Chains A and B, each alone.
Chain A
Amino acid sequence: MWQYEKKLQYPVNIKNRNPKYAQIIISQYGGPDGELGASMRYLTQRYGQPFNEVKGILTDIGTEELAHLEMVCAMVHQLTRDLTPEEIKQSGFDKYFVDHTASVYPQAAAGLPWRAEYIQSKGDVLADLHEDLAAEQKARVTYDNLIRLIDDPDILEPLKFLRQREITHYQRFGEALRLTTDRLNQKNFYAFNPNFDKQTCR
């Protein structure tokens, strides 16, 4: 189970509203490499894992991703507060506004709603960890791109924090992969081991 903590993992306090920025930042909530997908991916993959270290890291990183989607939503929320109809029309936010007003909806920057196809839960520790490593790098690139497009320090600080977390998570998943490959059968030189499969298919 989970218990909510009434705080953000890293502070978000954006003085200047900017619905244009909100429309690109929202991709890190509901986009293909966003935090919602990250969280669902890791928390869902846990059930197919053979090792406690991997179950642990998926649980704890998956939980942290929930805190990240809350930060991203906080950014979108603060960037779109108290808008005038004129600001909504001029910024191109009208296409979003007509369906969601100024609430936060999980979608990509180009408007595609979040899809479960963004994630996989393969029931194979090697396949899942490789997906997780790729996911962290893709999310890091998305933050790099946002940082290139945004020049408000109030937004850049939390974005830089979130980008750094992708790097740390990549490191921890890499260690989980190493712990896994250490348990491969010594005669097996490829990252595949039928012994893992037997444990879940008796």
Chain B
Amino acid sequence: MNKKYELKNKIHALDFAIHELVLFLDTHPTNQKAMTLLKDYRFKRAELIKEYESQFGNYIVTPADAPANGCWQWLDGKWPWEFKEV
């Protein structure tokens, strides 16, 4: 598994953990432990994105992430449903 794929996977794993906390907080809106964990995961995610961008360029997951100059990078690479050799 290459480094780029590994870092992306780590970010996606944190996305999932964050989503789980969002669902939990919907039915436990005053739970401070979940709140602290959410803050911690959001920080870790931002750190990983910094690490990714320092090595591989823009981390583009929504159209808003794609820079508004040069070539429209939103279209680059495979789409999520396409088979990738990993």
| A positions within 8 Å CB-CB of B | 3-15, 53, 56-57, 60-61, 64, 70, 73-74, 77-78, 81, 168-169, 172, 175-176, 179
Residues on A with beta carbons closer than 8 Å to the beta carbon of B28: 175
CB-based contact B27/A6 at 8 Å:
no
Distance, CA A13 to CA B23, complexed state (A) = 27
26 of the cross-chain contacts (CB-CB < 8 Å) are A3-B62, A5-B62, A6-B74, A6-B80, A7-B80, A8-B80, A9-B12, A9-B16, A11-B9, A11-B86, A12-B81, A13-B85, A14-B83, A53-B26, A53-B29, A57-B27, A60-B22, A64-B19, A70-B81, A74-B80, A74-B81, A78-B82, A168-B23, A172-B24, A172-B27, A176-B27
Distance, CA A13 to CA B82, complexed state (A) = 8
Distance, CA A91 to CA B32, complexed state (A) = 54
Distance, CA A185 to CA B60, complexed state (A) = 50
Would you give the shortest CB distance from A192 to chain B, in whole angstroms? Answer: 22
Distance, CA A74 to CA B19, complexed state (A) = 21
